[in-house]
Amino acid sequence: MSIPLIQVKDLHHTYLRSTPMETVSLKGVDLVIERGETVGLIGPTGSGKSTLLQHLNGLLRPQRGEVWVGGQSLADPRTDLRRVRQRVGLLFQNPEDQLFERYAGDDVAFGPRNLGLGRDEMRERVRRAMEAVGLDFMAFKDRLTVTLSQGERRRLALAGVLALEPEALVLDEPTAGLDPQGREELLAHLMRWRAEQGRTIVLASHTMEDLARLADRMYVLVSGRIVLEGETRQVFSRGEELARLGLGVPVATAVMWELQERGLPLRPDCLTVEEAAAEIKAFIRPFADSLIR
């Protein structure tokens, strides 16, 4: 059996240890991410999602427990963390706030430049990364970053991560605060990126609709512990439990759930509107029969 791309075992993390402000964030998390999967992470605000994600590329070192990336332990001082960060790219919340170069192309080039690549190779990588997020290289490379829209700046930040050519992307609320079209575009580019063999995504989100579309599996993190995990379909079929945890389900799932409650024998695990519509239609009389409408 091949080793998983990322493995987390009994991970604990406490902020401001041994101070009066001490806050326990993670309390023994186990997690496995296989190559080629898209894994969703949901949980109420303050549940430890961002802390967990920052361990997946070595930005935080395990205080207790283990994190392995490609079989290498991040607790092992011999592990080259720069190499790990190249394999696993992390996109923070509101990453557009962290753009710092004057010109768009330079910001994307920042990572590859530090890899010691030749000029042509670097330019080619920047071009590929920008085009992967729908920013035409020639049109955008010399644009001032401050003149880009918020959606464009978010995608530029993603291009900066993609330019390192990682195997896995770790995304913390990638669509939060974007307008509807910005959200759609970002999701479409992510789906295209991962279509290539073996590319892996881990994403934390409060938007259940996005997870229903993207994630193969999900983990539910509450107060620093994984309380629920499984295929996305299974996790969202536990609506009552999710509601109790302060989380939601996609709208299609909510409609199916309500109709079932009323006694309609529907499949409990529809995720998308298309699935739900196909499932519901068998139960509806054609509207031509009805007196109203």
Partner 1 sequence: MEPLIRVEEVSFAYEVGGHSIPALREVSLSVRAGEYLALIGANGSGKSTLARHLNALLLPDEGQVWVKGWNTRDPRHRWDIRRTVGMVFQNPDSQLVATVVEEEVAFGPENLGLPREEIRRRVEDALATVGLTAERERNPQFLSAGQKQRLALAGVLALEPECIVLDEATALLDPAGRAAVLRILDTLHAQERTIILITHLMDEAARADRVVVLKDGCMAMDAPPRRVFRRGGDLRRWGLTFPSATLLARALNQEVEGFPDDLLTVEEVVEAVWGRVRWSAQL
Under the rule (CB under 8 A), what is the footprint of partner 1?
43-46, 149-151, 176-184, 206, 208-209, 246-248, 250-252, 254-255, 258-259, 262, 264-265, 273-274, 276-278, 280-288, 290, 293
**What is the bridge-based pairing of β-strands 88-91 and 168-172?**
parallel
- The bridge status of strand 64-69 relative to strand 72-73 is antiparallel
CB of 247 to partner 1, least distance (A): 5
Smallest gap from Cβ 264 to partner 1, in A, equals 7
CA 206 to chain centroid:
10
Taking the least distance from each CB to partner 1, the nearer of 1 and 21 is 21
CA 203/CA 216 separation, integer angstroms: 11
Q: Provide the minimum distance between the beta carbon of 252 and partner 1 in the complex, in angstroms, as a whole number.
A: 6
| Residue tagged 């992470």 (tokens) | 41
- Closer residue to partner 1, CB minimum distance, 139 or 277: 277
CB 65 within 8 A of CB 10: yes
Q: State the burial class of residue 115 (Cβ atoms within 10 Å of its Cβ: 0-12, 13-18, 19+).
A: middle
Angle at alpha carbon of residue 174, lines to 170 and 177, rounded to 5°:
160
Shortest distance, position 180 Cβ to partner 1, whole Å: 4
Compare residues 114 and 181 and give the one whose CB is closer to partner 1: 181
- HSE-up (13 A, CA, CB side) for residue 57: 23
Q: Least distance in Å: CB of 57 to partner 1? A: 23
For tokens 């993207």, the residue is 214
Output the smallest distance, CB 39 to partner 1, in A: 19
CB-wise, 117 or 280, nearer to partner 1? 280
Nearer CB in complex with partner 1: 63/207: 207
CB-wise, 19 or 197, nearer to partner 1? 19
